[in-house]
Chains A and B, each alone.
Chain A
Amino acid sequence: MKEAVHIGANPATEPDLEELVGLVALGDEKAFASVYDIVAGPVLGVVRAVLRDRAQSEEVAQEVLVEVWRTAPRFRADRGTAMNWILTLGHRRAVDRVRSVEAAAARDHKAALLARTPEFDEVTEQVEARLEREQVRRCLRTLTEIQRQAVTLAYYRGLTYRQVAEALALPLGTVKTRLRDGLIRLRDCLGVTA
């Protein structure tokens, strides 16, 4: 993409995802197409990070996007941004899928799990995505090694904290606190507020 990217552009001219979701809630299919264009990439990215398999990821991403359509009338803007709602939904569905598959399969070996930690160096032509990626990667570096591993194994691999504990050979209580401490650091570094 060659166009200039207007990060932090005048808010008055930005398309507001919350407004679009509000239109979708009224059954507006065109508005849904605009929502799709904004969120499909992030949704697919989240799902694929957890599931890896491209075909399965597209299937789950499709389910998530249809669920966005179906449940938009119940979206509560006072409880968070639409993007967070949608990405949370996407992550949850990907995790549900990976756990249902895992229930029937042997648990992954630690080395295999760690080897699958996502590559942040993939080339992307989308400037805005690269900026976001850079910022997140920079902030992940402010975490301790254990915090970073716990957060990435849980979020990007869809592991329960129990599985994280097994993978890293740490007590359960330690994993719980590292996940919390790591996300608090990430929140502060990214300037996230709620």
Chain B
Amino acid sequence: MITADLHLLTGAYAVDALSDDERAVFERHLLDCEACAQETAELTAAAARLGLAVTETPRPALREQVLRSITTVRQDAPGGPAVPRASGAAARNRALSRWALAACVAAAATFGGTTIWQHQRAEDAINRADRAEQATDGVTAVLAAPDARTRVARLADGATGTVVVSHSRDRAVFAVSGMASPPSGKVYQLWFDDAGTMRSAGLMAPGSGDQTVLLKGAVDGASGMGITVEPAGGSDRPSGAPIALMELPA
């Protein structure tokens, strides 16, 4: 289990090396952290140069396929401020394309990054957060808290668990992806670990291997969290050994 200091994830984010859950948490963080957003923009621009360096020449047939496809694809409505208007016919001059890539490379070198924090990603994060908010009021508040701290752990069967704690709100969120279903008639129950004493933090929803849960009750100084398999309805205390134990981020 590793403390995932969000500030250190700018590089991993820039090269798409985060899991979907971690990416969502990081993107929420970017909305609140100007310095992180700036660094992320710069590092993503640097990563894009790694992409430009492996340019290939597509088959001519691909061009025909793509140009044919777009005639049947409806464009999205504008989602933000107007994009810059083109100045004239020169922009449409196909003859320019011969050296356009060079121009782009030069432009990339000159103007560099300004990059990345593109709207789709921000919107993805906001949409995910919105959905989470509808599902469990309070999840977003924890994820968006300025003091939100994250810890990620590999669970059994390749599942990934992420616990996010906001001490200012004294609440915790647990997100899991790729978790196997509990045995028939059983549920996963979450627990706060109060120095070895397990305190119930609610049940996970049955039947979904990917979910985000607001832990029930205050963190109240708990040092960790655990997951057990319990009979339907849950138990007052763990009936067996936990299938996962994670330390809470400090």
Contact = CB atoms under 8 A, between A and B. Distances in A.
B86 A22 contact: yes
Interface string A18-29: 111111010111
Interface in A131-186: 131-133, 135-137, 151-152, 154-156, 158-162, 164, 171-173, 175-184, 186
Contacts, number: 363
Contact of B17 (A6, A78, A179): A179
Interface string A37-76: 1101110111011000000001001100110011111111
Contact of B45 (A17, A84, A127): A84
B80 A179 contact: no
A81 B115 contact: yes
Contact of B44 (A23, A84, A90): A84
Contacts of A135: 49, 53
Contact of A62 (B14, B62, B112, B119): B62
Contact of A14 (B8, B57, B103): B103
Nearest to A20: B91
Interface in A1-37: 1, 3, 5-9, 11, 14-23, 25, 27-34, 36-37
A114 interface: no
Contacts of A36: 63, 66-67
B67 A73 contact: no
B103 A9 contact: yes
Interface of A is mostly: helix
Interface residues of B, number: 89
Contacts of A120: 53
A172 B243 CA distance: 22
B106 A40 contact: no
A187 interface: yes
A25 B78 CA distance: 8
A80 B111 CA distance: 9
Interface in A69-117: 69-81, 83-85, 87-92, 95, 103
B126 interface: no
B56 interface: yes
Interface string B1-35: 01110001111101111110000000000000000
B49 A186 contact: yes
A17 B17 contact: no
Contact of A81 (B58, B66, B108): B108
A156 B117 CA distance: 21
B97 A74 contact: no
Contacts of B241: none
A49 B16 CA distance: 14
Nearest to B23: A92
Contact of A15 (B70, B93, B113): B93
Interface of A: 1, 3, 5-9, 11, 14-23, 25, 27-34, 36-38, 40-42, 44-46, 48-49, 58, 61-62, 65-66, 69-81, 83-85, 87-92, 95, 103, 118, 120, 124, 126-129, 131-133, 135-137, 151-152, 154-156, 158-162, 164, 171-173, 175-184, 186-187, 190-194
11 contacts: A7-B102, A15-B103, A20-B91, A34-B94, A80-B45, A84-B118, A91-B15, A129-B101, A180-B9, A187-B113, A190-B109
